[in-house]
Amino acid sequence: MKKTKILLISMTALLLASCGTKKAVIQQKPVQDTKVAQPTIPAPKDNKMQSVVTMQRITDNALYQKNLVSNLTFTLNDGRKDITVPGILRMRKDEVIRLQLLIPILRSEVGRIEFTKDYVLFIDRIHKQYVKASYDEVGFLRDNGINFYSLQSLFWNQVFVPRQQGMSEADLSQFTVDESKAQGEGVITVSLKDGKMDYKWSVNPKNNLIQLTTITYNSTAHGASKLSWTYNDFRAFGSKLFPADQTLTINTPAIGQKPAKTLKANFVLDGFSDGSDWETLTQPSDKYTKVSVEDILGKLMNF
C-alpha cells in the first residue's frame, strides 16, 4: 500500500506538473528538322511531393479503432528507484485517455488519471480527494504547448500538428522530412517547428512506424526542457500494429538552486481490446474533496 501511495503522488507530479497532386513533368520537344531528336530532359525531383508521400505512409499506420483497452504495467523512475504497479489503460479517440492504478493482487482501483478535451482529472481514492484542472492550469502541459490532442497522438503513436484535433492532407506539407539516413539501420526524421517548440519524429523506413517522438521547449530564461516518447514491441491490433511498450521521459534543466531532473514512466500493455462498454467521463463522488494541483504536489514534496 505504501508503494502504491508513493506511485500515485509521483505519477500526478509527472503527468500534471512536470497531441491527388500530380508531379509536373518537364520535357523538351525534339527538333523536327534534324536527323537525331534531342534527348528528353528528366523531370526534376520534387522533394516536397516526396515528403508528402512519405507522410501519407506514416499517417496510414494510424489505428482504425475508436476504443483501445488494455491491461497495464506502469513503472515510474525518478532517477533513484523504480516503482511498479498494475493498471488499466482505456482510450476513446477524441474523447478521453484514462489511466487506472490498481492495488497489486487485489486489483482494486486506488487512483485514476483522466485526460479529456477540456480538463485533466486526478482521483486519489486512498485520501478521497481529486484535482480537476484545465490544461492552462497545469504548468508543464501549458508551457510545452501540450493539450489533449497532442497527448492523444503520443499515446496513439501518431504524428500531429500542435493544438489541432486532426490532420488533413494539406497539413502534411507543413512537415520537414529527411530521408537521407533511411538506408540500412537508419531512420526517417520528420520535424516541425512551432514558435519555441521543436517537434521531431524518428520513423522506421521499413514499415513507416514511429519509433520515437521528441518535443523540445526552448526557453530563453530557463533553457531547454524535453519530452521524449519511445515505442517498442509492436503487436497486431486489427489490421494495424500498435506499440505494447511505451516510455515517456521528461528532462528539465537546472533552474537556480533546483537541479536538472529526469523522470521516466514506462507503460507495458498486455492484450488489446476495442471494447466500448465503459463510461466516457468520470464524475467524482460527492464524498470526495476537491483540492488544487499545488496540494497534490505539496504531498510529494513533503513525503
The domain total for the chain is: 1
Grid coordinates standing for 283?
A: 464524475
Q: Does some domain include residue 30? A: no
Q: Does some domain include residue 172? A: yes
Q: Does some domain include residue 197? A: yes
Q: Does some domain include residue 28? A: no
Which has the minimum average pLDDT: 44-48, 56-60, 197-201?
A: 44-48
Q: Does some domain include residue 38? A: no
What confidence score (pLDDT) does residue 208 get?
96
What confidence score (pLDDT) does residue 48 get?
83
Per-residue model confidence as pLDDT tens digits over 209-253: 999 999 998 877 777 888 999 999 999 999 999 999 999 998 887
Q: Average of pLDDT values for 136-155?
A: 82
Is the pLDDT score of 66 beyond 80?
Answer: yes
Q: Does some domain include residue 99? A: yes
Per-residue model confidence as pLDDT tens digits over 262-291: 889 999 999 999 999 999 999 999 999 999
Amino acid, res. 44: P
Q: Does some domain include residue 126? A: yes
Collapsed DSSP state (helix, strand, coil) of residue 267: strand
Separation CA 70–CA 102 (nearest Å): 13
Model confidence, pTM: 0.82
Q: What is the DSSP letter of 136?
A: G
Q: What is the DSSP letter of 159?
A: -
Q: Does some domain include residue 34? A: no
Is the pLDDT score of 6 beyond 80?
Answer: no
What confidence score (pLDDT) does residue 12 get?
55
More confident residue, 124 or 56: 56
Question: With helix as H, strand as E and coil as C, how does 195-258 read?
Answer: CCEEEEEEECCCCCCEEEEEEEEEECCCEEEEEEEEEEEEEEECCEEEEEEEEEEEEECCECCE
Domain extent, residue 163, equals: 2-15+46-302
Most confident of 138-142, 145-149, 186-190: 186-190
Q: Give the β-pairing of 289-290 and 129-133.
A: parallel
Which has the minimum average pLDDT: 25-29, 160-164, 298-302?
A: 25-29
pLDDT grade, residue 301 (50/70/90)? very low
What confidence score (pLDDT) does residue 296 get?
57
Burial of 266 (0-12, 13-18, 19+ CB in 10 A): middle
Q: Average of pLDDT values for 59-79?
A: 93
DSSP 15-78: III----------PPPPTTSSSPPPPPPPPP-HHHHHHHHHHHHHTTS---SEEEEEEEEEEE-
Is the pLDDT score of 126 beyond 90?
Answer: no
Is the pLDDT score of 28 beyond 50?
Answer: no
Per-residue model confidence as pLDDT tens digits over 252-263: 877 777 788 888
pLDDT grade, residue 105 (50/70/90)? confident
pLDDT grade, residue 203 (50/70/90)? very high
Contact in structure between 300 and 293 (CB atoms under 8 Å): no
Q: Strand (E) positions, 126-209?
A: 129-133, 176-178, 188-194, 197-203
**Cβ-defined contacts of 135-139 (< 8 Å, 24+):** 137/293, 138/16, 138/17, 138/293, 139/17
The mean pLDDT of the chain is 82
What confidence score (pLDDT) does residue 294 get?
67
C-alpha closest to that of 202 among 238, 239, 232: 232
Supply the CATH number for residue 63's domain. Answer: 2.50.20.10
pLDDT grade, residue 11 (50/70/90)? low
